[in-house]
Amino acid sequence: MEPDRSTIWPFDEAGEPRDFYYARYGHPTGAAAEARLGELEGGDALLYSSGMGAETAVLLAFAQPGSTVALAAGAYYGTSVLMRELGRWGLRLVEFDQTKEPPAADIVWVESPANPLLTEPDWDAVRAHPGLKVCDATVSTPVNLRALDHGVDVVLHSATKYLCGHHDALLGATVTRDADLTARLREVRGRTGIAAAPDAAASLLRGLDSLDERMARTAATARELARRLADHTGVENVRYPGYSGLISFDVADPRRVETRTRVIVNATSLGGVESTIESRHRWEGDRIPRGLVRLSVGLEDVDELWADLDHALA
């Protein structure tokens, strides 16, 4: 789909706005991409300027001064940074082990799997919690998880990652099955100006066309690499959830490993067709092991990737 880059559209003959009138509130390319993603997730999707934009919209829409958010420990680092930033406005953050029952909170925020520690939520405990339930499903994608089916109220994606899949678009998304939640998120998105650009939405449409095939291939390669890493004498504590393309593992000198790869790109982010690798302690500090390396597996040949890793680990 060629993106419609218009920012305005004419009103109707009676002088009333049509479905699209100003791009901050919606545009045809974004609506088409939202419909496709919503169909995959089984809900109503909205797009934002980035994954962090989607998180900001959720917090501004549903939290208020004095609200407590229970966040999965070891989840994406930027999420806790954002919540601590909002602590100046009275947001209270409590981190918890998402493999166990969440504590009392207004919002329970899980991640499946948590990035980069790759733990999974206790879905029965999440479903039973009385608070608003949010799941970041960036790493899972709807190919592996439809979190709305597990009692979640709002699903989040950094669509920059697997959904777009080519490291060429910043994009975030929410999906809900509650019309009131969707309406509130749409309202906040328009008021704060964190809507997605048409070109990013077009990248999502392109990415969704190949999502099933990409996720199948990256998972098959990741399973084999995780197996080989577990047998390598220079590697400790390999983490892999059994699906998708994200692996983390511990080494004695993570900076040496990440700078010795030649096929795997030493860069941040994940979920693209190109494999990437990075040490995470530089960003996250002691909330994760000092030697943790995060590997996002792309579409390259498994033996080519293993030869690169084996060389870097030597």
CA 194 – CA 115 distance, rounded (Å): 24
Looking at the fold, whether 95 and 160 belong to one and the same domain comes out as yes
Query: What's residue 288's pLDDT?
Result: 95
Looking at the fold, whether 113 and 247 belong to one and the same domain comes out as no
Last residue of a domain, one of 188, 209, 230: 209
Looking at the fold, whether 63 and 49 belong to one and the same domain comes out as yes
Looking at the fold, whether 145 and 226 belong to one and the same domain comes out as no
Please check the confidence at residue 1 and state whether its pLDDT lies above 90: no
CA–CA distance from 177 to each of 18, 26, 146, 148 (Å)? 25, 19, 12, 8
Query: What's residue 115's pLDDT?
Result: 97
Looking at the fold, whether 186 and 40 belong to one and the same domain comes out as yes
Kindly indicate the confidence band of residue 60, based on its pLDDT and cuts at 50, 70 and 90.
very high
Size (the chain), residues: 314
Looking at the fold, whether 227 and 200 belong to one and the same domain comes out as no
Kindly indicate the confidence band of residue 44, based on its pLDDT and cuts at 50, 70 and 90.
very high
What percent of the chain stands above pLDDT 70? Answer: 100
CA 157 – CA 148 distance, rounded (Å): 13
Q: Do 273 and 299 meet the contact criterion of CB atoms below 8 Å apart?
A: yes
Looking at the fold, whether 234 and 193 belong to one and the same domain comes out as no
Q: Which residue type, as a one-letter code, is found at position 233?
A: T
The tens digit of pLDDT for each residue in 5-35 reads: 999 999 999 999 999 999 999 999 999 999 9
Q: Do 198 and 23 meet the contact criterion of CB atoms below 8 Å apart?
A: yes
229 within some domain: yes
Query: What's residue 2's pLDDT?
Result: 86
Looking at the fold, whether 29 and 173 belong to one and the same domain comes out as yes
The tens digit of pLDDT for each residue in 274-307 reads: 999 999 999 999 999 999 999 999 999 999 999 9
Tally the C-alpha atoms within 13 A of residue 124's C-alpha that lie toward its C-beta: 1
As a whole number, mean pLDDT of residues 217-246 equals 98
Residue 251: domain span: 212-313
The tens digit of pLDDT for each residue in 158-188 reads: 999 999 999 999 999 999 999 999 999 999 9
**Structural domain tally of the chain?**
2
82 within some domain: yes
Query: What's residue 232's pLDDT?
Result: 98
116: cis peptide before it, omega within 30°?
A: yes
301 within some domain: yes
As a whole number, mean pLDDT of residues 264-273 equals 98
Token pair belonging to 222: 């990741």
Q: Do 26 and 195 meet the contact criterion of CB atoms below 8 Å apart?
A: yes
Looking at the fold, whether 191 and 286 belong to one and the same domain comes out as no
Please check the confidence at residue 225 and state whether its pLDDT lies above 90: yes
Helix (H) or strand (E) holding 59: helix 51-62
Query: What's residue 251's pLDDT?
Result: 98
Looking at the fold, whether 88 and 159 belong to one and the same domain comes out as yes
Rounded to a whole number of angstroms, the distance between the first and last alpha carbons of the chain is 46
pTM of the model: 0.96
Query: What's residue 11's pLDDT?
Result: 95
CA 138 – CA 76 distance, rounded (Å): 10
Kindly indicate the confidence band of residue 71, based on its pLDDT and cuts at 50, 70 and 90.
very high
Beta strands in the chain (DSSP E): 44-48, 68-72, 92-96, 107-111, 132-136, 154-157, 172-176, 236-239, 246-250, 265-266, 276-279, 292-296
Query: In the predicted model, what is the mean pLDDT of the chain?
Result: 97
Token pair belonging to 49: 């300027």
The tens digit of pLDDT for each residue in 102-133 reads: 999 999 999 999 999 999 999 999 999 999 99
Looking at the fold, whether 297 and 173 belong to one and the same domain comes out as no
113: cis peptide before it, omega within 30°?
A: yes
Last residue of a domain, one of 165, 189, 209: 209
CA 24 – CA 47 distance, rounded (Å): 11
Last residue of a domain, one of 209, 243, 274: 209
